[in-house]
Amino acid sequence: MKKVFSFLMILSLALSMVSVIAPKTLADPAHSDEFEGATLVSEWTWVDPHGDCSYSLTGNPGYLRIYAPHGDHDLYTYSNLNAPRLIQSARGDFTIETKLLFDPRYDVQGAGILIWKDSDNYLRLDRLLHRGGEQVVDLSGEDKGLWSYLAETPYNYTISYLRLERMGDMFTASYSKDGVSWMSLYRTSFPLGDPVSIGIFVLNQWQNISVYAEFDYFRVKVIQPQPVLVPSGFIMLAGTIVIAIVVAAGFIMVESKKQAKSTKTLEKMSVYRLNWL
């Protein structure tokens, strides 16, 4: 009996050490692009609501240039959502990052990266000139149709690195001057669900002077869920204990029957002895 119980215990503990949940594979992983070719890869979708903007991979080889010829190209709930943009589908947790060459000179000229659910739910992180002359990196967007400027910091360099991280419902915006030393701009809860669109855009609003921005790359880093250790050992242990109790109960019943039989035999013998005496 002891041997059987010990064997079940060892089996239970051994199984508990190897039980894991394998990470899910993402059904719709997004793709990085260094913009080194002469044509766009098929994952991208060009969105240009006015149909008057353009993009080029040859104007500055190695960079994607997005050009907006005049105003009325915004991503702002109170004016319009006409900004030219390149988007692709994404799911799960990820970071998106771009390196940008952009030197805005006129009011509400901007360029950056975007996470978009629909026209009432999106986040944009951009290098921007607004409010008549403020040069900034800015995080803003709509949450269920409500517009917010979430955070901004003064920034007046031609090169900027922008990064948005999504972990569940949490989004973290960061920026850098050199792509090495990163500064955190803001962290916010922003439930969007899956799938979402991610991408790059250019703004040109409230004046009629053309502008373009050049993107060196758009990098997507999918954050894979970590394998999770499952306490299946406890489940196995519980099962083992139940089996052991059942086996022990059976053993006790058999022993009791034996005892009862031997008691009856003794009783019979006693009766026999009494009769004999």
Q: List interacting residues with Ca ion (CB under 5 A).
A: 34-35, 62, 77, 119-120, 216-217
Taking the complex as a whole, the smallest distance from the CB of residue 118 to Ca ion amounts, in Å, to 8
Of the pair 34, 194, the CB lying nearest Ca ion is at: 34
Taking the complex as a whole, the smallest distance from the CB of residue 224 to Ca ion amounts, in Å, to 26
Orientation of helix 232-276 relative to helix 2-18, angle to 10°: 170
Of the pair 32, 95, the CB lying nearest Ca ion is at: 32
Calpha distance 162→175 (Å, rounded): 5
Of the pair 35, 92, the CB lying nearest Ca ion is at: 35
242 φψ region: left (φ > 0), alpha (ψ -120 to 50), beta (else): alpha
Of the pair 110, 141, the CB lying nearest Ca ion is at: 141
Taking the complex as a whole, the smallest distance from the CB of residue 20 to Ca ion amounts, in Å, to 39
**Closest to 199 in 3D by CA, of 104, 112, 82, 260:** 112
Taking the complex as a whole, the smallest distance from the CB of residue 176 to Ca ion amounts, in Å, to 17
Residue nearest to Ca ion (CB): 62
Taking the complex as a whole, the smallest distance from the CB of residue 80 to Ca ion amounts, in Å, to 10
**E strands along the chain, which residues?**
20-21, 45-47, 54-56, 64-68, 85-90, 94-101, 109-118, 121-130, 134-143, 146-154, 159-167, 170-176, 182-189, 196-204, 211-222, 228-229
Of the pair 64, 137, the CB lying nearest Ca ion is at: 64
